[in-house]
Amino acid sequence: MLQVCLNGSRSREHCPGLPITAAELADAARAAVAAGADDIHLHPKNPDGTDTLDPSVVAETLTAVRATVQGIPVGVTTGAWTVSDPVQRASMIRAWTVVPDHASVNWHEDGADLVAEALKDKGIAIEAGIYSGTDASTHFLTSPYASQILRVLAEITDTDPHTAAATARELLDQLTPHVTAPILLHGEDGGAWPVLYTAVQGGLPTRIGLEDVLHTPDGTPAHDNATLVRLARSARTGTPSRSQGGRSGSGGPGQS
């Protein structure tokens, strides 16, 4: 399974072509699915480009995207940067009038169980975001929701193209003995392509998109999400060359 992550917490400053509005996200989703994406992850955004859980924005975005990619699951973020107070975050989720198929919950953030509970109450499937280099796996594995998720998002925050794959294997070693749900493995910026190749080699679900990386494997700036999806679809098993490691994109790591 290949998920496309259309925008993330980036802004137009990081990527001039980043889809922000509902119409732009709908167009990007349609092109990404045509290029081979099986699933969509996006961040609904205010007009100024900041991420939001506002029910009206979420409804507008999901309605527009679903109209262009009927039958494709669409998910959103619930990251703490949208609303810092987890109680308020859960309350906003419960106020959603149009709900996504799934939503990511980052288990290194305070209140992850509260957010997960709100999603379950709304009938929304949970993607468990487990960041490398954090205590997320410990918190998640002791959570009452650990056995009630759609999948784990194993998120490699190591952006060094020379070490990200090893970091990915370390996180997988922590998770696989204890997790029965599918594990979607992905990286970010300089680590995005090496981690994607690691996922391909291991037969794991993965993802790609402008949230995670702004460059193609040879370091060329990516034109759009569909370009990244096509390259990910064409990836072959085997150790990538140094040029396939990519380079760190501007704007810092993506967030789920």
State the total domains in the chain: 1
> What is the predicted pLDDT for the residue at 243?
37
Residues present in the chain in total: 256
The number of beta carbons lying within 10 Å of the beta carbon of residue 110 is: 13
Q: Tell me, yes or no, whether 256 lies in a domain.
A: no
CB-based contact 123:147 (threshold 8 Å): no
Q: Residue 254: its pLDDT value, please?
A: 53
Output b/e per residue, 22-52; b: 16+ Cβ within 10 A.
bebbbbbbbbbbebebbbbbbbbbeeebebb
With a pLDDT cut of 70, the percent of the chain lying above it is: 92
**What's the pLDDT score for residue 244?**
41
In a domain, 253, yes or no: no
Q: Which residues of the chain have pLDDT under 50?
A: 236-253
In a domain, 131, yes or no: yes
Residue 251 within any structural domain of the chain: no
The CATH number covering residue 141 comes to 3.20.20.70
Looking at residue 255, what is its pLDDT?
66
Domain with 84, as residue range(s), is 2-245
Q: 252 lies in a domain? A: no
Tell me how far the alpha carbon of residue 27 is from its chain's centroid: 18
pLDDT in tens, 216-248: 999 999 999 999 999 999 984 333 443 344 433
164 inside domain: yes
pLDDT at 235: 86
Query: Does some domain include residue 215?
Result: yes
Asked if residue 108 belongs to a domain, the reply is yes
